[in-house]
Amino acid sequence: MKKVVLFLVLLLLVGLYACSNSDPAMDEGSSSGNAAEDNADDGGFEQQKESTTESGSGNADDAEYEGEQSEGSKTSKRMMIRTGYIDIEVSDYSRTVDRINEEIKKVNGYIVNSSQYNHGEDENTSGEMTIRVPEEHFQEFMDSLKSEDARIRNTRTEGKDVTEEYEDLESRLRAQEAVEERLLAFMENAQKTEDLLKISDDLTSVQSEIEKIKGRMNYLENHVAFSTINISIQERSVKVPEVQSQSELNTLSKAQKLFMDTINFLLNIGSGIVVAIVGFSPILIPLIIIGLFVFLRRRKRYKSE
C-alpha cells in the first residue's frame, strides 16, 4: 500500500515538473512568434518607407536636374543692347555721307535720323547721323568708319544686359495668360449679370497688362537684334569761294541802291529835325524870345558904356 502511494506521489511530481517545463517553452514560442510577426511588420514598413524615400529622392533629383537644365537654357544666350558713338573728321563731308549710306545698305541697316549744318559761306559742313544695324554687323560697321580719309576724334561702345528683365517679363506674361484663361472659363460659366461685369473688368485689366508686357518684350527684342550707332561728322577742309561773274556782281545796281539809301538817310535826318522843331515849339519859342530879349538888353548896355 505504501508502495502504491509513493508511486502515485512520484507520478504526480513528474507530471507537475513536466507542466512547469512546457509552459515556458510555449511562452517563449509564443513570444518568438509575436516578435517574428512584429519584425515582419516592421520590416515591411521600413521597406515601404525606404522605397518611398528612394522614390522621393529620385523625383527630387529629377526636379533638380530639370531645374538645372531650365536654368542653363535661360542663361545660355545673353541679351545685350549695344550702342556705339563715333566722332570723325573728314576732308569731304558729302563723299563721306555717301560712303556711309553704301555701308548701311550692305548690312541691311537703316537711318533713324540725320542732320546737316552749313556754317556760312566760308565755313565747314558738319552733321550727325543715327543709324541701326543688325547686331552681328555692329563691330564690322564701326570698323568700316575708320577709313584713311577719316580721323577718329572720339569713339565709345556701350552695352546693356537685359537678360534678367526679359526673363522676368516672360514669367509675368505666363502668369497673366494663366489668369486670363481662368477668367475666360469663369465668364463662360457665369450666369449673373453682375458676375459677368466683374469678370469683364478683371479680364480687361489683365489683357491690358499682357499688352504692356508684350510691348516691352518686343522693344527689347528689337533693340537686341539691331544695334544703334551715333555718328558725328566734321569737315576739316576750308572751301575757297569762286570768282563771281559780272552778272553776279551787279555793280551798277548796287551803286544805285547805295545812292538811294544815302538820299533816304538824309531825308530821314531832315524829317526828324522838322518833326523835333514842330514838336518842341511850345518850349522853344518862349526860350527863343527870352534869349533875344536878354541878348538885346546886353547889347544896348554895351553900346551905352
Instruction: Give the C-alpha separation, 147 to 90, whole Å.
Output: 10
User: What are the residues whose beta carbons fall under 8 Å from the beta carbon of 119, sequence distance 6 or more?
Assistant: 125, 126
pLDDT in the model for residue 9 = 56
pTM for this predicted structure: 0.50
Cα 286 to its chain centre, rounded Å, is: 82
pLDDT in the model for residue 248 = 59
Instruction: Give the C-alpha separation, 130 to 113, whole Å.
Output: 5
Cell of 116: 546737316
Domain spans in the chain, listed from the N-terminal domain onward: 1-76, 79-240
Given a contact cutoff of 8 angstroms between Cβ atoms, the answer to whether 161 and 79 are in contact is yes
> What length does the chain have?
305
Residue by residue, pLDDT tens for the chain (305 residues) are: 555 555 555 656 655 555 555 444 444 444 444 443 444 344 443 333 343 334 343 443 444 434 444 444 454 578 999 999 999 999 888 889 999 999 999 999 999 999 998 876 656 789 999 999 999 999 999 998 887 778 899 999 999 999 999 999 999 999 999 999 999 999 888 888 888 899 899 999 999 999 999 999 999 999 999 999 999 999 886 555 566 665 556 777 888 889 899 999 999 998 989 888 888 888 888 888 998 888 888 888 777 76
The three-class DSSP label of residue 112 is: strand
C-alpha distances out from residue 130 to 76, 115, 220, 229, 231, Å: 31, 9, 18, 6, 6
Cell of 218: 518686343
